[in-house]
Structure 1
Amino acid sequence: MNILIGLIPALCWGLYPIFLTKMGGNYFQQLFGTSAGIFICASIVQVGFKYQISVNDFMLYFTSGLFWSIGQTGEVWCFKEAGVSKIMPVTTAFQTIGNSLIGGWLFSEWVGISDNLLGLVALIIILLGVFVSDGLVKIERKDIMIYLILLVTTIGFWGYSGFPHYCHTSGLAGFFPQSLGMLVGSSVIYFVGHNKIKGSDPFGIKNIISGIVFGGAASTYLLSLSLNGLVNAFALSQLNVVIATMVATVILKEKPKNQIISTLTGLVILIFGVFLMVSI
């Protein structure tokens, strides 16, 4: 059951970038709409279950949400610049490396030499899968800056996954303060990007739907963190790359048909690496 709960974020996060693309708007509108949708989901959960949380844990989850807004800004911008199918495998690699090393070494989820060796082997396999699926061996000069921005902003996702680990409160109790941090961070970025708060923003409103999809992932991811640990919860969630990449390839037609086989091969390798990591 724990593994099944851990797979729900993969499904929702896999569909999320597709919703973003279909809803339209610039990345500021997509970011703000997403955070608003997540906040709505979290508010409903909080009203329904009336979770209690300490001030210290509230601030840690809130900070986690602020970090998310940084990571999400970079990811959504890169989606716009390079496409979902091209960015998803790369952001998966960046996030997996950071979160796995943080969870395995900082939080001591990897115990002994064998766990550490298996973890490093799994990371290498995951990276190999990314290279095969995305063809990064043929990286173009114009894409270098995109990937650098993605790497720097991925620090936000590391903080998003890492800060809840310091909390004494686990699971959905932290969803509301985390979503509040997401909304505050996204609102600041939205305001800076537009230099004003718009009275009506149809694309921002439409992307609330994307946020509700993301909210389904975020809430179950918090449950998975407490049930499966940071490394395993994150590894399972990153199977979203399979859904997002293949849907973007087939439905959004972001890649030619002759690249589908290499994409599938790379994703199979990546999945193997993820499940090897989960087995530690």
Structure 2
Amino acid sequence: MQASLLIALIPALAWGATGIVTTKMGGSAGQQSLGMTFGALIFGILTLVLYVIPSAGFDFAMNPRLWVVGFVSGLFWAVGTAGQFIGFKKMGVSVGNPISTGGQIVSNALMAAAVLGEWTTGKMWLFGSLAILSVVVGAILTSLPDAKTPKVENPNYDFKAGLLAMLISTLGFMMYFVLPNLLFKLGYISSAIHGAPNGNGLYYMTSVVGPQSIGQVLGAFIIVIFFLKERSIMFELPTWRNIVTGLVWAVGNVFMFVSAANPAVGQAVATTLSQMGVVVGVFGGIFILGEKKSKRQLVYAVIGSLLVVLGGIMISNLSIF
């Protein structure tokens, strides 16, 4: 179990760094989203060719139902990512990251508990609810403004618009996270496929990564062209630089889905631990990207991050109840 939890923490490191990397790479929200999907596509194809087909076999890897699951999941991810990058630009990474993290932890934990049935006792629901409350309070604390601090000169700053973008992002990420296990619960994916090869779901969750990356690219193109109206700049240099962002994100993606399929971890635990990168995102935004915080805000950020981590630890240990 300890090794499984360590693997489940890899996405936290990779995804916590994503906001920092993409900010360093630069570009508009559309360029960041599109470039990131290109990196994810490269990683997805490599995963398919170098691992899935040699290990699970060509027929398993090309199963049409696996491709539907992966592709649709990728479309939802594109919505989540575009919303997140817009939110980062409107609010800053150190504020937007914990809000995004808190929303994802709450929505995915509740989805896994209520829809996937992973919380099976009254005690699990009690402590799970307390854990979610801890995460929510922590996310709020990390994003609290300080009225005594001069406003940061950010021509894109718009807290309400950023919050709306993060809400849309949360819904997109929720469906991206939960869809592979949800379609199994609904009977679209058989137990034999879902559990292959030895009940740990490794083949299933790595098989969806390739088609998922195709859905991500298509979804990003649709959003960039028709919603963000960035057709004229979508192939400029910042887009190509953000391939690096996509590669960093893709590492976390593979390990998150592997952990979610592992019965020793489960959807609620895997998605919660994957969001512990809030610590990386918050303090990386402050110390690497130079986002200004007052002493009071730094205290709030520390307390808030600890509450988010505490909530994550509680959710990851609900099985003892």
State the TM bucket, normalised to the shorter chain.
over 0.9
Contact between 1:85 and 1:255, CA under 8 Å: does it hold in 2?
A: no
1:33/1:112 Cα in 2 relative to 1: closer, same or farther (>3 Å)?
same
Contact between 1:249 and 1:260, CA under 8 Å: does it hold in 2?
A: no
Q: Please, which of 218, 231, 245 is the counterpart of residue 184 of structure 1? A: 218
Letter in 2 for 1:125: S
Question: In the TM superposition, what is the alpha-carbon distance from 1:190 to its structure 2 partner?
Answer: 2.1
1:108/1:21 Cα in 2 relative to 1: closer, same or farther (>3 Å)?
same
Question: In the TM superposition, what is the alpha-carbon distance from 1:19 to its structure 2 partner?
Answer: 0.7
Letter in 1 for 2:87: C
How do 1:1-280 and structure 2 match up within 5 A? 1-49=3-51, 50=53, 51=56, 52-53=60-61, 54-135=63-144, 142-165=158-181, 166-167=183-184, 168=189, 169=194, 170-192=204-226, 193-194=228-229, 196=231, 200-227=235-262, 228-258=265-295, 259-280=297-318
1:114/1:171 Cα in 2 relative to 1: closer, same or farther (>3 Å)?
same
Count of equivalent residues: 279
Alpha-carbon separation, structure 2, partners of 1:101 and 1:197 = 40
Question: In the TM superposition, what is the alpha-carbon distance from 1:246 to its structure 2 partner?
Answer: 0.6
Alpha-carbon separation, structure 1, partners of 2:169 and 2:140 = 20
Alpha-carbon separation, structure 1, partners of 2:272 and 2:222 = 30
Alpha-carbon separation, structure 1, partners of 2:159 and 2:266 = 34
Structure 1: stretches of 5+ with no match in the other structure: none
Instruction: Normalising by structure 1, report the TM-score.
Output: 0.94
Alpha-carbon separation, structure 2, partners of 1:62 and 1:221 = 17
Instruction: Normalising by structure 2, report the TM-score.
Output: 0.82
Alpha-carbon separation, structure 2, partners of 1:240 and 1:199 = 28
Give percent identity, aligned residues only: 28
Alpha-carbon separation, structure 1, partners of 2:238 and 2:304 = 34
Alpha-carbon separation, structure 1, partners of 2:81 and 2:235 = 23
Question: In the TM superposition, what is the alpha-carbon distance from 1:137 to its structure 2 partner?
Answer: 9.6
Question: In the TM superposition, what is the alpha-carbon distance from 1:153 to its structure 2 partner?
Answer: 3.0
Contact between 2:31 and 2:239, CA under 8 Å: does it hold in 1?
A: yes
Higher helix share: 1
- Greater shift after overlay, 175-184 or 160-169? 160-169
Letter in 2 for 1:132: L
- Which one has a bigger Cα radius of gyration? 2
Question: In the TM superposition, what is the alpha-carbon distance from 1:149 to its structure 2 partner?
Answer: 2.6
1:238/1:145 Cα in 2 relative to 1: closer, same or farther (>3 Å)?
same
Question: How far does the alpha carbon of each residue in 1:64-100 deviate from its partner, in whole angstroms, 9 at most, with x for none?
Answer: 1100100111100111111100001111111111111
SS of the aligned residue for 1:238 comes to: helix
Question: In the TM superposition, what is the alpha-carbon distance from 1:135 to its structure 2 partner?
Answer: 1.4
